[in-house]
Amino acid sequence: MDVSSLASTIDHTVLKPDSTLDNVRTLVHEAITHRFASVCILPWHVADAALIRGAHPLPICTVIGFPLGASATTTKVYEAVESIKNGASEIDMVASITALKSGQRDRLFADIRDVTSAVHDHGAIVKVIIETCLLTNEEKLLMCEAVTEAGADFIKTSTGFSTGGATLDDVRLLRLHVGPNVQVKASGGIRDAATAVAMINAGATRLGTSSGVGIVSEGRRDGSTEVLKY
């Protein structure tokens, strides 16, 4: 797997609460330079990022119901639609972990379905964050089922703000149990080229990381992206 192919899987990410407009400006320029898949930023910064990128087709991704997933579904829908109007074309929503843990499977499904439907109606794609570190294997499978039935585009492992990030075992599990039209995004703790490629080989097609520049620079320097193959 060459460096350019790896770069094209990376959502170049800054989601810290103290991130600034200067951070976003740097992020956008780095994403354009390295040809990353997108920039992933807070909703507050979406309109600014759209201005910064100008006519460049760099996709803007933002997070909804972040990081807990505990917002009302109507709030998530509104936030997603407003972000799309401001320039986002990819929406990473946090599913309602509390609904799943409470046995409210119908409400969990409705939460994902309603956001997915609204996002698709506005021509954007949706990735559903399930926060794998908080789930049992049985709960992960229930999330796979809900995400697939709701018609979401991706299932995503983690916010990066909980007790753990992506693992190879979880990526393999999600890839095995979501439908063929659902892709897997691995996020959280991906900081080097070998880990990034391992996640791709495990079944991820998108990576969320704030270490994108270091990852592709490492790959160019030592060829570590060639260690693992598809």
Question: Catalytic amino acids?
Answer: 92, 156, 185
How far, CA to CA in Å, does 68 sit from each of 10, 53, 54, 201? 23, 29, 32, 29
C-alpha 90 chain-centroid distance: 9
**Cβ-based neighbour number of residue 104 at 10 Å:** 14
Give ∠ CA 156-125-207 in degrees, rounded to 5.
35
Task: Name, in order, each residue with C-beta under 8 angstroms of 41's C-beta and a sequence gap of 6 or more.
Answer: 13, 14, 15, 19, 24, 27, 49, 60, 61, 62
